[in-house]
């Protein structure tokens, strides 16, 4: 059943469904990604924003475009993100994309180059740089520690 759901849902949506249903899952993720689950967000607009971020290529993420899609001002969206997560909006969007990287590292054996392409990073190097900046670990070290 999990494989059927995995084929139909984005990895982050599957993770949130697993959390909701309390299905056993892999080891805990890096603390920097705590609180980014859709189920942890009280604001419906913020949940929609998170789903849009998960579906948008990392290199194409823009706060103004996201706010426009949600019919709110960028300032309003930024305030909501900070109120719910404690993060600046750009930080929150980056952490969501990097959480997707972390999930892919733990749940698949895909090479990092493929993960970078699938999630829309400009390059493998930019993914590595961003991941190390947030977690303090290289993606491969993270895979070894959390897979």
Query: CA–CA separation, 126 vs 58, rounded Å?
Result: 10
Q: What is the pLDDT of residue 138?
A: 97
Cβ proximity of 135 and 128 under 8 Å: no
Whose CA is closest to 12, among 99, 74, 114?
A: 99
State the 10-residue block means of pLDDT for the chain, 147 residues long: 73 75 59 71 84 92 94 95 91 94 93 96 96 96 89
Q: What is the pLDDT of residue 110?
A: 96
Residue 64 makes CB contacts below 8 A (sequence gap 6+) with 74
Q: Alpha-carbon dihedral of residues 3, 138, 66, 45, nearest 10 degrees?
A: 60
The answer to whether the Cα torsion of 76, 80, 83, 86 is positive or negative is: negative
State the total domains in the chain: 1
The answer to whether the Cα torsion of 25, 131, 121, 97 is positive or negative is: positive
Residue 75 makes CB contacts below 8 A (sequence gap 6+) with none
Q: What is the pLDDT of residue 123?
A: 96
Q: What is the pLDDT of residue 71?
A: 95
Q: What is the pLDDT of residue 8?
A: 79
Q: What is the pLDDT of residue 119?
A: 95
Range of the domain at 14: 2-146
- Tokens at 60, concatenated: 């194409």
Q: What's the CATH code of the domain at 102?
A: 1.10.10.60
């Amino acid at each position: 059943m999990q494989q059927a759901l995995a084929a139909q849902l984005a990895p982050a949506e599957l993770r949130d469904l697993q959390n909701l249903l309390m299905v056993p899952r892999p080891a805990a993720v890096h603390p920097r990604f705590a609180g980014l689950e859709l189920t942890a967000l009280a604001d419906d607009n913020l949940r929609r924003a998170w789903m849009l971020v998960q579906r948008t290529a990392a290199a194409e993420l823009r706060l103004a475009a996201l706010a426009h899609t949600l019919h709110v001002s960028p300032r309003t969206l930024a305030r909501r993100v900070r109120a719910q997560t404690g993060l600046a909006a750009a930080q929150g969007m980056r952490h969501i994309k990097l959480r997707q990287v972390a999930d892919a590292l733990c749940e698949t054996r895909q090479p990092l180059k493929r993960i970078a392409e699938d999630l829309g990073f400009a390059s493998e190097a930019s993914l590595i740089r961003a991941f190390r900046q947030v977690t303090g670990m290289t993606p491969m070290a993270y895979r070894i520690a959390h897979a």
